[in-house]
Amino acid sequence: MIFILVATLPPYGHTVFRMIISSTLLWIFVVITATAASPMQFNCTTSGQSICEITNIIITEYTDVSEWEFPDHPEIAFGSHPALDDSTIITMVSKEVSEKLTNTQSIHMQNVSLMTFFLWEHLISLDVSYNYLSELIVDPTAMYNLKSLNMQHNRLMSIDFLKGLYKLRDLDLSNNYLEKIDLSILDPAKDLATLKLSNNRIRTITTSFGDMLHLPRLTVLMLNHNQLSILDASRWQFNVLQDLFLSNNRLSYISMCEIQNSFPRLQSLYLDGNQWECSNLNSTVTQLHELSVKLVSHTSHNCTEAIENICCS
């Protein structure tokens, strides 16, 4: 329930009001969200489609949802998915809200001002991109079934919350605030196939305790548009990796021994937009050709010297 209070202020001659406000009317809108519980049944705004859309909903930390009921549907989009929807604002998905969605396996909750999300065990796919999340709230004792997680364009500064998500297959953490990450957190996720970490601020990638990091099904690794000056892949074992994106970093050298040993099935490598010395780059390109690895460049660069459309100095 929303109450709107409208106040009108008349002009007061040459007072400060006229100095600040050019018009003669000042409208003050005060929106108060009722905290008292009231029975509410939400229905899908679409029919006959695979995704159930729910619009015109506001949930904050003060909202009492104890008498609310959501559709018993396997895939729900809050807001008009995938278009933007100003009528839907959800700042928090609490444990109480999650308990009302236990039969839902796929959630789309993009661009709804989300700041807190309590993950439940039966959820398989979650898209909470374009929000204000710094983490997901997870229970260390729970057995999560999440396979696809899209958290691009949020406010992540750490990936520690991923520790219990062992069944992940597709993970998108691009366009966040990550600076240093320990990929060992993902070692239990043996089914991980796609990992997107592009457009962060990553300077350092580590592997804890000197252990080997095995991701036996990883095929795509995106590290482009970061601040990497060194790529230490000596403890990585990504045996089926096919596409490695390293463009637009600060790299001046990569170890071909590591490329060959850590990524034995690599097919495509993106290296443009780094700080290559031409002699090092030429040697790298030659060895990559010998390994039948294709060099790919996203964009054309204006530079005085280049090798296979990759600038160098």
The domain segmentation of the chain, as residue ranges, is: 41-237
pLDDT at 11: 44
pLDDT at 16: 36
d(CA 266, CA 292): 9
pLDDT at 82: 62
Which two three-digit tokens encode residue 78? Answer: 């809050």
The arrangement of strands across the sheet holding 243-245 comes to 52-54, 75-78, 106-108, 125-127, 148-150, 170-172, 194-196, 220-222, 243-245, 268-270, 294-296
First to last CA, the chain: 64
pLDDT at 38: 57
41-237 belongs to which homologous superfamily? Ribonuclease Inhibitor (3.80.10.10)
Q: pTM of the predicted model, to two decimals?
A: 0.85
Q: Which residue has the tokens 């444990």?
A: 95
One digit per residue, the tens of pLDDT, for the chain of length 313 reads 333 333 344 444 443 333 333 333 222 222 323 334 457 899 888 766 789 999 899 999 999 999 999 999 999 999 765 667 788 999 999 999 999 999 999 999 999 999 999 999 999 999 999 999 999 999 989 999 999 999 999 999 999 999 999 999 999 999 999 999 999 999 999 999 999 999 999 999 998 866 799 999 999 999 999 999 999 999 999 999 999 999 999 999 999 999 999 999 999 999 999 999 999 999 999 999 999 999 998 766 678 889 988 999 9
pLDDT at 29: 27
pLDDT at 31: 30
CA-CA-CA-CA dihedral for 242, 277, 203, 210, to nearest 10: 70
pLDDT at 8: 41
Burial class (CB in 10 A: 0-12, 13-18, 19+), 159: buried
